[in-house]
Amino acid sequence: MNIINKQVDRLNAIINDLLSLSRIEKSAERGEISRERTNIKEVLESAVQVCQHKATIAKVTLALACNNDIIAEVNSPLLEQAVVNLIDNAIKYSNENQEVLITAERKDDSVYITIKDYGCGIEKAQLERIFERFYRVDKARSRDLGGTGLGLAIVKHITLAHQGNVKVESTPGEGSSFTISLPISNIQ
């Protein structure tokens, strides 16, 4: 019964992620992603708060560095979801007593939100595929940690819906750094 229950939970998570991804894609295609002027620090603080319990259990420290004056036209719930997905992954792939650093800065007409961990890192050969649906760098470990293989695809599509992009830099054994770049003003 425990195995069945675990598999039902896993399938439920996959279905929820697929539905979320489908809604994001359809809304973006139709230009229905509403955006408003938003304080980015408030979005990041909310994402950190969502992830704090999991970080505490994993004995990982979450550190946020963001000025109060960074404002951009975004869909706050979607941006928060993208950041939560990245923080959640950073926690999963970090060891005890490590830090996950969440930063945001404005450069020219863009906002750069970076989630950096000092965990296991990702092999260079796999970096091209990590934003694909259901792609897992470490299939056994990510399944054990509760991943659906859709979190980074969701991040990618949320970023694209904001006319932005996401990139990753990683070194095995040293950690990973995911950066979402968004235009400050992107309402069409």
Residues for the chain: how many in total?
Answer: 188
The enclosing H or E element of 107 equals strand 99-107
DSSP assigned state of 166: E
Helix axes 76-92, 40-58, angle to 10 degrees: 30
Give per-residue pLDDT as tens, 112-165: 999 999 988 888 878 787 777 666 665 544 445 556 677 888 888 888 888 899
Top CATH class of 2-183 equals: alpha beta
Q: What is the pLDDT at residue 141? A: 47
The CA R_g of the chain, rounded to the nearest whole Å, is: 16
> Would you place residue 166 in the very low, low, confident or very high pLDDT band (cuts 50, 70, 90)?
very high
Query: Greater confidence, 105 or 149?
Result: 105
pLDDT at position 142 is 47
Q: What phi and psi values does residue 157 have, to the nearest 5 degrees?
A: -75, -35
